[in-house]
Amino acid sequence: MQFIKKYLSLIVLLISVVTILSGLTQVVAPGFVLGVIGAEVNATSAHFFGIVGMFMALFGALMVHNIYAVQTSPVTVFWCGIQKLGAFVAVSLGVFNGVFSVLAMGVAIFDLFSAGIFFFFIKTIKDT
């Protein structure tokens, strides 16, 4: 079990770092990211997309902090997993409603995968 936890922790850490970096990118260059995923870019959409990026960065940082804490909190992992699940639903609805291009489904699938990994990670925390 220690072997699985070691590599699972690394995967969770990588997902969290990607979440931080992509969130910060949305904060700094929301118009660029909106353009990449095929959304309309205007002052309002860029502003709110930047706010979403801030929360992504915060949840990613929370997970990194949690991984390096003396004791990893399953509650924190759960809520970070819920954030990832919520992001999957939100982006998928955006694609379904024509707000984002189908390219954004790559982001949604990554978030769904991440949520699954986080929820599995909870089990490894409780088993130790």
pLDDT digits (tens, 9 = 90+) for 37-83: 999 999 999 999 999 999 999 999 999 999 999 999 999 999 999 99
Question: Within a 13 Å sphere around the CA of 57, how many CA atoms are in the beta-carbon half?
Answer: 14
Q: Is 0.85 topped by the overall pTM?
A: yes
Q: What is the mean pLDDT of residues 11-39?
A: 96
Q: In the chain, what percentage of residues exceed pLDDT 90?
A: 91
Domain ranges in the chain are 2-126
- Hey, what are 93's tokens? 């609805």
Name the token pair of 26.
């949305």
Evaluate whether 100 touches 91 at the Cβ level (below 8 Å).
yes
Share of the chain above pLDDT 70, in %: 96
Nearest-Å Rg of the Cα atoms of the chain is 15
Determine the length of the chain.
128
